[in-house]
Amino acid sequence: MDIRGKRVLVTGGAGFIGSNLVDELARGNRVIVIDNFSSGKLGNIRHLSDKGAIGIVTGDIRDKVLCRTVTRDVDVIYHLAVQCLRVSISDPEINHEVNATGTLNLLMAARENSVGRFVYVSSSEVYGTALRVPMDEQHPNEPTTVYGASKLAGEKYTLAYHRTYGMSTMVVIPFNTYGPREHFEGAQGEVIPKFVLRALNNEPPHIFGDGAQTRDFTYVSDTVRGIMMASECDMMIGQTVNIARGEEVSIRSIAEKIYRKLGKGHISPVMETARPGDVRRHFAGVEKAEKLFGFRAEVSIDDGLDRYIEWFKTRGYDFGALMKEDVVFNWEQK
């Protein structure tokens, strides 16, 4: 299926990955974004809405009537609306309602309105900690948090709608995406932006656990390209695929790379108690994506960090003020 000249709906399209995806989709499609702006930011997509390149609907996928309305006359849905991992620790119910029930609401509406293709963007958290590596799509699903469990429920609903009703659905699983527009604030903040922010303030990194835990960090341009390539692949209907670089990097080594790139020399991190639900190891198997639609990540971790640091430094942020606002170091090492 050629994803050009289509009417496309992106849920969570003002978020980190969502807004980067919308940037690419808006080049050749009529794009509608639905977001409740609980974590997404209007500023991420304002440059497109001001030009009339996209439409924006402020709303929540827990609203069944709204889901039916926004899915009318839509050719493709990219479903990224989500409640984040750390919220699930303190408020598991809202994670379930948004990530699981919200997905079911959207699937019901998409079927009712005969949407041509439904792309569910999941999370590597559905796998839990690696039981074997690399973690291909046949790896057991053992999520360690309600967030991971709720994203897995969304996966199962998505594939069930293909098997039961013949809908053209698929599941895409990004691993540990980073890059421009990534959250750095509060509970939604993620590890790479937090390390950059602290380094720019000559503060040591805070690391939960021993720092030896690994993630498969993938630059956002690669993640977006992989999602789009998967969505165009007819052989992906009813399938699940990982989108990742296929390389594991420890949290401590990420901190060391960032501080070295910013000229901070040797670092002595502040070691914090390991957080509940943190996975120990993530390392994606990426052969299926390459075999089905020729995807391979192009941006190395060092190149990606350089790109992100330069982007972050040009934003005009008051780094000292940001540090004062973020007095609770409750970010995600993802």
Residues identified as active-site: 147
3-class secondary structure, 95: helix
* Distance between CA atoms of residues 260 and 256, nearest Å: 6
How crowded is residue 4: how many other Cβ atoms within 10 Å of its Cβ? 10
Tell me which residue of 246, 222, 217 sits closest to 305, measured CA to CA: 217
Contacts of the segment 123-126: beta carbons below 8 A, 24+ positions apart: 123/82, 123/147, 123/148, 123/151, 123/173, 123/174, 124/173, 124/174, 124/175, 124/176, 124/216, 124/242, 124/244, 124/282, 124/284, 125/85, 125/151, 125/279, 126/151, 126/152, 126/155, 126/173
Tell me which residue of 104, 82, 158 sits closest to 334, measured CA to CA: 82
| 67 contact partners, CB below 8 Å, separation of at least 6 | 61, 105, 106, 108, 109
12-24 burial by CB neighbour count: b if 16+ within 10 A, else e? bbbbbbbbbbbbb
Beta bridge mates, 190: 332
**Where are the strands (E) in the chain, listed by range?**
7-11, 30-35, 54-58, 76-79, 117-121, 169-174, 177-178, 206-208, 214-215, 218-219, 240-243, 249-250, 270-272
Beta bridge mates, 332: 190
